[in-house]
């Protein structure tokens, strides 16, 4: 069974800290996920807690890598070179099935 960074089992609720389609954690308060339907990437901000676990709120929705990159820049989040490389490996249009593990193995793009 796979687990999140906090050790919780991965789940399918987008707001959960243990969501199974996290693409990138920009910092403690911002992350990028693929939506549960695999049709868009979502930028999320940390928004309190639920049942003792961090809860995430959707703030941007993007179908293309270019608009996702622009949203990251507009958010004021400082992206490291490694984080930029993760985004650069995303396909140009969200088509589903991309996870942090897939990108770490050199998948996508």
Greater confidence (31 vs 97) lies with: 31
How confident is the prediction for the chain on average, in pLDDT? 84
Q: Exposed, middle or buried, 9 (CB in 10 Å: 0-12/13-18/19+)?
A: exposed
- pTM to 2 decimals? 0.79
State pLDDT tens for residues 44-67: 999 988 888 899 999 999 999 999
Residue 83 neighbours by CB under 8 Å, 6+ apart: 24, 26
Kindly tell me if the per-residue pLDDT of 1 is higher than 60. no
Mean pLDDT of 1-28: 79
Q: Exposed, middle or buried, 33 (CB in 10 Å: 0-12/13-18/19+)?
A: buried
């Amino acid at each position: 069974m796979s687990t999140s960074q906090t050790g919780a089992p991965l789940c399918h609720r987008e707001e959960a800290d243990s969501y199974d389609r996290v693409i990138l954690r920009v910092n403690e308060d911002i992350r990028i996920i693929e939506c549960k339907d695999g049709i868009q990437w979502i930028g999320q901000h940390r928004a309190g807690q639920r049942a003792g676990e961090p809860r995430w709120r959707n703030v941007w929705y993007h179908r293309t890598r270019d608009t996702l990159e622009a949203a990251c820049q507009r958010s004021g989040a400082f992206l490291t070179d490694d984080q930029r490389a993760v985004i650069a490996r995303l396909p140009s249009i969200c088509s589903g099935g991309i996870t942090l593990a897939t990108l770490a193995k050199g998948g996508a793009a």
